[in-house]
């Protein structure tokens, strides 16, 4: 529902943006349907945690940004006071705050955010492409946590937008991704974007295919995409004994992950949870600017604010499962 919001003041250390593009994510759809609890029960919240905007006003104390700068916004704000923050592990903050989930998000004409989470965009990065900066940042964080080495195999379970981007990031770090899903169209797009090994688990046994690709060793690591429709328990079968597994996605969706966890114990796997890309936005923007990561095939369509209701319903029905709807004013 469209509504008029009160004018926001720009305090010290903050900037005001004119929204140029935002993305409809699965968390947005679930909040829209009432399947994710609101931060304040019965109070409406503006959805949207992926945003590209142009700075229209700069608060006192902001030196690195100016009016007219085009920026991508990292929706996460760390508390700076907990032990992980003090140890420079901001992505593991105990009180991590996310715009669009914990408070009003970015699907509005203007937003005010801390200057510290606004990152300048090169001219060659389009607004629609920059909406995927959060996906890329999260993927870089996942690859970093898994400590992937040159030539190692990583099975990525789930070929939605995040899974396809994660496979491209793995390639950048010279690992060998194997993307598993049931959606032939999504896997075909991944192949177009340079992912050589894909497995359609409807048409082939993933275990046999991965066994063959890895020369019988199975994968060194796996990344399970929590926003996919795949089985987490099954994904553990694809990793060698003593391997590493990253459960990737957005934490509000973790309750939907099902499957047996016995494989973790049986194989003595090292498991990491990765739900954000804090600190990784500059690297993510660089990968977009250099065309290392290609998201052009992941943009399903662009809609106006007044079309968001319809777009939400269609996303809920799964019509945009592996491509993103981009909202522009």
- Residue 129 makes CB contacts below 8 A (sequence gap 6+) with 288, 295, 296, 299
Q: How far is CA 144 from CA 91, 252, 280, in A?
A: 12, 22, 10
pLDDT at residue 316, as a whole number: 66
pLDDT at residue 320, as a whole number: 55
pLDDT at residue 33, as a whole number: 77
Architecture of domain 135-274: 3-Layer(aba) Sandwich (3.40)
pLDDT at residue 253, as a whole number: 53
Domain locations along the chain: 14-132+295-327, 135-274
pLDDT at residue 5, as a whole number: 60
- First-last CA distance in the chain: 14
Q: Could you state, in chain order, the average pLDDT of each consecutive group of 10 residues for the chain (329 residues)?
A: 66 95 85 72 76 96 96 93 92 90 88 95 96 96 95 96 97 97 95 97 95 96 89 89 91 55 87 92 97 93 84 69 82
CATH says 14-132+295-327 is which class?
alpha beta
17 touches 108 (CB < 8 A)? no
Q: DSSP letters of 146-168?
A: HT--TT-EEEEE--SHHHHHHHH
pLDDT at residue 314, as a whole number: 76
d(CA 148, CA 261): 23
d(CA 31, CA 251): 13
């Amino acid at each position: 529902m469209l509504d008029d919001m009160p004018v926001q003041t720009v305090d010290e250390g903050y900037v005001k943006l004119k929204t140029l593009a935002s993305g409809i994510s699965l968390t947005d759809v679930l909040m829209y349907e009432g399947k994710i609890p609101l931060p304040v029960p019965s109070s409406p919240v503006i959805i949207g945690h992926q945003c590209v905007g142009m700075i229209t006003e700069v608060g006192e104390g902001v030196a690195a940004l100016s009016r007219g700068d085009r920026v991508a916004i990292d929706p996460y704000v760390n508390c700076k006071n907990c032990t992980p923050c003090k140890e420079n592990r901001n992505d593991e903050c105990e009180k991590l705050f996310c715009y669009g989930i914990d408070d009003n998000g970015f699907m509005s004409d203007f937003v005010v955010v801390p200057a510290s989470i606004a990152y300048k965009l090169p001219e060659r990065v389009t607004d629609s492409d920059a909406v995927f900066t959060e996906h890329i940042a999260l993927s870089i964080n996942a690859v970093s946590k898994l400590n992937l080495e040159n030539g190692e195999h990583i099975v990525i379970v789930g070929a939605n937008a995040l899974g396809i981007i994660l496979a491209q990031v793995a390639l950048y770090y010279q690992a060998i991704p194997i993307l598993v899903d049931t959606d032939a169209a999504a896997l075909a797009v991944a192949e177009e974007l340079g992912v050589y090994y894909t497995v359609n688990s409807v048409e082939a046994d993933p275990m046999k295919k991965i066994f063959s690709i890895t020369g019988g060793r199975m994968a060194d690591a796996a990344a399970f995409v929590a926003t996919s429709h795949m089985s987490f328990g099954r994904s553990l079968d694809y990793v060698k004994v003593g391997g590493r597994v990253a459960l990737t996605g957005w934490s509000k969706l973790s309750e939907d992950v099902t499957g047996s966890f016995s494989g973790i114990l049986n194989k003595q796997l090292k498991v990491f949870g990765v739900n954000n890309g804090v600190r990784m936005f500059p690297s993510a923007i660089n990968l977009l600017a250099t065309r290392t990561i290609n998201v052009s095939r992941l943009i399903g369509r662009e809609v106006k604010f007044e079309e968001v209701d319809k777009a939400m319903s269609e996303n809920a029905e799964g019509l945009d499962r592996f491509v993103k709807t981009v909202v522009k004013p």
